[in-house]
Amino acid sequence: MTDFVAHPEQGLAWVTGASSGIGRALALRLARDGFDVAVTARDHEKLVQLQREAPGPGKIIVLDGDVTDPRDMERALASIEYEHGAMALTVLNAGVSIPIHGEDMHREDFEKTFAVNLHGTVNCLLPAVRHMQARGHGQIAIVCAAAGYGGLPTGAAYGATKAALINMAESLKFDLDKAGIRLQIINPGFVATAETAKNTFSMPALISAEQAADRIVSGLKSGSFEITFPRRFTYMMKILRFLPYGAYFWLLNRLTGWKDRPLVTPRPAATAMARDPQAV
């Protein structure tokens, strides 16, 4: 099994979804630790601002791109490898969270979430593995979420993609270990970002994006497959999965107060896409 851990002298880091939230904080932290960090998102102005704020000694390299476009991601990887140097570390973080209410479901909300969180990750993962495989080493971390452990209110689309990413990474690890590529998953609890700000329920153990970045960096240096935090919350979520379903739903309803919340007013189907957040 591989024990490769990326260091700045071994090559660049690549962070997707770096225009805000965890991705932004992580890019700044990696640059402070000495990595040159290629950052990808659709919002060019936010990436340029991030580049200006890089604390050094590492620099920020702006690579605009849409993770839902596989050609964009192939281009981004080619630019990293052939213009800026070898890539040692990849953190696939881009994602969206669109709340789903069972009484007001829209196909577009599911499609957008799957396109960014699941297919977008695969679009980045494939070229990253190919480039690292050619050198015989590399490190890839996929940002999943504790929401992937089990169903949560409004998480029908978001949680489904995170559960799929966890399973995908578990399956790929067997072969990537043999290829010299360390694969890890990152399962945060609630992190204060623009996405979680849309939640209308209690978010226990909420931490800042900067705190999340610190814990991710620490986990990337470890030998663990899973990086999860804050453990007082994520371990509770793991334990809940051992409960019978009746107890699981009763306890989650009690913890979130969801059963007592009124049903939402259905919105016209034409407005569904207009409410979609932009992929970071």
Q: Which residues are catalytic?
A: 158
CA distance linking residue 11 with residue 15, whole number of Å: 13
Residues 6 or more apart whose Cβ sits within 8 Å of residue 240: 149, 150, 248, 251, 252
Beta bridge partners of 228: 187
Whether 89 contacts 62, CB under 8 Å: no
Strand 181-188 versus strand 226-229 pairing type: parallel
CA distance linking residue 96 with residue 84, whole number of Å: 29
Q: What are phi and psi of 246, to 5 degrees?
A: -60, -45
Q: Residue with structure tokens 């060019």?
A: 44
